[in-house]
Amino acid sequence: MANDPIPTEKQSLPLFGLAPDELRDVVEDLGQSKYRAVQLAEALYKQRVQTLDEITTLTVELRERLAREGYVVGLPEIAQATRSIDGTERYLMRMTDGETVETVWMPNGDGGERGDGSEAALEEEASYSDEAEPALRNNSAKDGAPGSVGEYKRATICISSQVGCAVNCQFCLTAKLGMRRNLTAGEIAGQVSAVLNRQNVRIGSGRGVQTPSRINLVFMGMGEPFLNYDAFMRSVHLLRAMGIPESRMTVSTSGILPGILQFAKEPIRPKLALSLNASNDEVREQIMPVTRKWNISALLDALRTIPFGKREYVTFEYVLLGGVNDQRQHAREVLKLLAGMKAKVNLIVWNPGPGIEFHEPAPADVAVFHRMLIDGGIPTFTRRPRGRDIYAACGQLKRTVDGPAELVEITSPGGVRN
- 250 bridge partner residues: 218, 271
Length, in residues, of the chain? 418
Which of 165, 169, 172, 394 is catalytic? The answer is 394
Return the one option of ligand SAH, ligand SF4, none that residue 199 interacts with (CB less than 5 to 8 A, by type): none
Write down the least CB distance from residue 228 to ligand SF4, Å.
11
Among 118, 197, 254, 291, binds ligand SF4 (CB under 6 A): 254
Of the residues 123, 224, 365, 389, which one makes contact with ligand SAH according to CB under 6 A: 224
Active site residue 394: yes
Q: Where would I find the beta strands (DSSP E) of 237-336?
A: 249-253, 271-275, 314-320
Candidate list 80, 174, 199, 250; residue touching ligand SF4; CB under 6 A? 174
Query: Is 64 a residue of the active site?
Result: no
By beta-carbon proximity to ligand SAH, the closer residue of 157 and 201 is 157
Q: Of 60-68, 162-170, 181-189, 359-367, which segment contacts ligand SF4 by CB under 6 A?
A: 162-170
Q: Which is nearer to ligand SAH, 201 or 227 (CB)?
A: 227
Active-site residue, selected from the candidate residues 77, 89, 102, 113:
102
Q: Which of the listed partners (ligand SAH, ligand SF4, none) does 183 bind, with a CB threshold of 5 to 8 Å by partner kind?
A: none
* Three-class secondary structure of residue 211 per DSSP: coil
Q: Can you list the positions of beta strands (E) in 116-258?
A: 136-137, 151-152, 155-158, 162-164, 179-182, 215-219, 249-253
DSSP-based three-state secondary structure for 102: strand
Binders of ligand SF4 in range 390-409 (CB under 6 A): 395
How far is the C-alpha of 60 from the C-alpha of 54, rounded, in Å? 10
The span from the CA of 6 to the CA of 9, in Å, is 9
Name the nearest CA neighbour of 104 among 126, 128, 80.
80
In the complex, the smallest distance separating the C-beta of residue 309 from ligand SF4, rounded to whole angstroms, is 26
| Cβ neighbours of 192 (radius 10 Å) | 26
Residue 175 interface partner, choices ligand SAH, ligand SF4, none, CB cut-off 5-8 Å depending on type: ligand SF4
The vertex-88 CA angle with 403 and 386, nearest 5°, equals 105
Min CB(192)–ligand SF4 separation in Å: 18
45 near 104, Cβ under 8 Å? no
Instruction: Report yes or no: 160 and 90 within 8 Å, Cβ to Cβ.
Output: no
Per-residue binder mask for ligand SAH (CB under 6 A), 327-356, x = binder: ---------------------x-xx-x---
> In the complex with ligand SAH, which residue's Cβ is closer, 50 or 184?
184
| Dist CA 159 CA 103 (whole Å) | 5
Phi, psi of 365, rounded to the nearest 5 degrees: -70, -40
Positions of E strands within 265-338: 271-275, 314-320
Output b/e per residue, 204-238; b: 16+ Cβ within 10 A.
eebbbebeebbbbbbbbbbbbbbbbbebbbbbbeb
319 forms part of the interface with ligand SAH (CB under 6 A): yes
- First-to-last CA distance in the chain? 36
In the complex, the smallest distance separating the C-beta of residue 47 from ligand SAH, rounded to whole angstroms, is: 30
- Exactly one of 76, 78, 395, 399 binds ligand SAH (CB under 6 A); which one? 395
Nearer to ligand SAH, 195 or 394 (CB): 394
Q: Is 165 in the site for ligand SF4 (CB under 6 A)?
A: yes
Interatomic CA distance for residues 32 and 20, integer angstroms:
15
C-alpha–C-alpha distance, residues 375 and 377, integer Å: 5
Contacts with ligand SAH, 236-255, as mask; x by CB under 6 A: ----------------xxx-
Q: Which residues bind ligand SF4 (CB under 6 A)?
A: 165, 167-169, 172, 174-175, 223-224, 254, 395
Q: Which residues bind ligand SAH (CB under 6 A)?
A: 171-172, 220, 224, 252-254, 275, 277, 317, 319, 348, 350-351, 353, 394-395
Catalytic residues, by residue number, are 102, 394
